[in-house]
A and B are shown apart, each in its own frame.
Chain A
Amino acid sequence: MAGTQSSDQQNGDSTRGDWAEWLAGLRSSADPLGVRGLLERSARALDSARTPAQAAAALAEALEAERTRQRTGHEHLEALLGEWARTLRSLAPMLPDSGPGIAPPLLGPFPRRQALLQALISQSDDYQHALANHLECLTTLAEDCTTAYRDHLLEQTGDDTPIDPDVLMDAWMAVAEPRYEAWLAEPETQTRIAAVINAWSALVATLRELADDTLEAFGLPSARGLDDLAAELQRQRRRHRSEIAELRSEIRALKAQISAQSAPRDNPPQ
Chain B
Amino acid sequence: MSATKLKQALRRAARAERDPATATPCTAVAETDNGVLQRYTAAAGQPSGHGRPLLIVYSLVNRPAILDLSPERSVVARLSAAGLDVHLLAWHPPGQARQPLGLADYVLGDIEDAVHWLDKHYGTPPHVLGICQGGVLALCHAAIAGLTTPRSLTTLAAPVDTGTPGDRLAELARDIDFDALVKATGNITGPGLASVFAGLKPFALGPRRYRGLEALAEADDEAITTFMRMERWMYDGPDLAARAFAEFAREIYQRNALVHGELALDGHPVRLGDLRIPAFNAYALDDHLVPPAAASALGEHLGGPCHTQAIRGGHLGLFISGEAHRALYPELINWLATTEGAP
Question: Which of the candidate stretches B18-26, B198-206, B319-327 sits at the interface with the other chain?
Answer: B198-206
Chain B, interface size: which category?
A: 35 or more
B179 → chain A, closest Cβ, in Å? 9
- Confirm or deny: A194 has a beta carbon within 8 angstroms of a beta carbon on chain B: yes
Closest to B148 in A: A248
Interface size, chain A (Cβ < 8 Å): 49
Cα(A204)–Cα(B208), bound, Å: 35
* Residue-wise interface mask of A (23-55) relative to B, using a CB-CB cutoff of 8 A (1 in contact, 0 not): 000000111110110011001000000000000
* Residue-wise interface mask of B (1-19) relative to A, using a CB-CB cutoff of 8 A (1 in contact, 0 not): 1000000000000000000
Closest to B198 in A: A36
Q: Which one of B1, B33, B99 lies within 8 Å of A227 (CB-CB)?
A: B99
Cα(A30)–Cα(B180), bound, Å: 21
Q: Which one of A39, A193, A197 lies within 8 Å of B202 (CB-CB)?
A: A39
On whether the beta carbons of B168 and A184 are closer than 8 Å, the reply is: yes
Q: Which one of A35, A169, A180, A198 lies within 8 Å of B177 (CB-CB)?
A: A198
16 A-B pairs besides A238-B105, A241-B105 with CB distance below 8 A are: A36-B199, A36-B202, A39-B206, A39-B207, A40-B206, A177-B204, A185-B171, A191-B175, A201-B181, A201-B185, A202-B180, A203-B184, A226-B96, A230-B96, A230-B97, A237-B33
11 contacts between A and B (CB under 8 A): A30-B195, A31-B195, A36-B198, A165-B1, A190-B172, A197-B176, A203-B184, A230-B99, A234-B100, A234-B105, A241-B105
Q: Which residues of A approach B to under 8 Å, CB–CB?
A: 29-33, 35-36, 39-40, 43, 165-166, 169, 173, 176-177, 180-181, 184-185, 187, 190-191, 193-195, 197-198, 200-205, 208, 223, 226-227, 229-231, 233-234, 237-238, 241, 245, 248-249
Q: Which residues of B approach A to under 8 Å, CB–CB?
A: 1, 33, 96-101, 104-105, 108-109, 112, 116, 146, 166, 168, 171-172, 174-177, 180-181, 183-186, 189, 191-192, 194-195, 198-204, 206-208, 211, 266
